[in-house]
Homo-oligomer: A and B are copies of this chain.
């Protein structure tokens, strides 16, 4: 288990240098200096670079040339970074990746602009695929168009997902399918766009493009559900934050949604009370976890995540065998094996 996680980390690192080079190049011309610094800040903060690696790996797995996908990969990472910067403003989160968030360092106006700039630069990057020369001829225009459509669609979904998430606050009638739709939009849509973009830029046929989108969507959903799950089964050291933080913050998770659907009136009422507390104690957290366990919600979340990963791996069977395909399978496993 630990070994395959190491293998995944090695794959991610292998690509991150090249992707970072693309990002650095496209952001280097931003003016004035304050806006450039604010725009670059989070890209230097050492994210896992999972999304862009997926783009490149899928493009390789469908037989494409890495060079054709690298700018789209970098673009996906910029979209991810843009959404983190704006989310941190909206959620008033002062820390991100162990560093002060962009609005904390440069103020909200510059942080809004930095996000907008990264957004614009992401589109510029995809378009530059052609300008900078690829192995492709004129068909690259069509591929670039399709990739931009994928990216733009994911951006709309990210905004919608964040709006739904904010709307769920204090709403304890959220149904499981509404919750899944929210995390699809907020988290999984961009991962699906990452894998779809790789397939498009790699020149895959429609059937494979669609399968790769679904693969990305499924591991994206599993990724978020695993986050929900880890919050109550992991330990503070692995998480980098106290166990049960989601409970303390009253966040909607699959554990909450499932428990509220299954619990008797008394337990339901108590769980809602705990989630609404403004200063939740460790005893409250334990009590909530007991309710999750009583209704099998923790195992349920794990099973849903595992099921998504298994289905994602099945979808990879459409691809010919390759090292890249092997890596995509390992990444699917990694999503539910990671401890943080």
**Inter-chain contacts of A141 with B (CB < 8 A):** 141-142, 144-145
Within the complex, what minimum Cβ distance (angstroms) separates A158 from chain B?
8
Contacting residue for A112 out of B86, B110, B155, B160, CB 8 A: B86
Contact B123 A152 (CB under 8 A): yes
Contacting residue for A113 out of B30, B151, B163, CB 8 A: B163
The secondary-structure label for the interface of chain A is helix
Q: Please count how many residues in chain A sit with their CB below 8 Å of the partner chain's CB atoms.
A: 45
A 11-34 binary contact with B (CB < 8 Å = 1; else 0): 000000000000000000011101
Q: Does any Cβ of B come within 8 Å of A240's Cβ?
A: no
Q: A90-B109, A141-B145, A166-B109 are in contact. Are A160 and B35 (CB under 8 A)?
A: yes
**Inter-chain contacts of A108 with B (CB < 8 A):** 89-90, 108
- From residue 116 to 160 of chain A, which have CB atoms closer than 8 A to chain B? 116-117, 119-121, 123-124, 127, 130-131, 138, 141-142, 144-145, 148-149, 151-153, 155-156, 158-160
Contact B116 A159 (CB under 8 A): yes
Contact B145 A130 (CB under 8 A): yes
Within the complex, what minimum Cβ distance (angstroms) separates A86 from chain B?
5
Q: Does any Cβ of B come within 8 Å of A164's Cβ?
A: yes
Q: Does any Cβ of B come within 8 Å of A167's Cβ?
A: yes
Contact B163 A110 (CB under 8 A): yes
Q: Does any Cβ of B come within 8 Å of A162's Cβ?
A: yes
Contact B86 A116 (CB under 8 A): yes
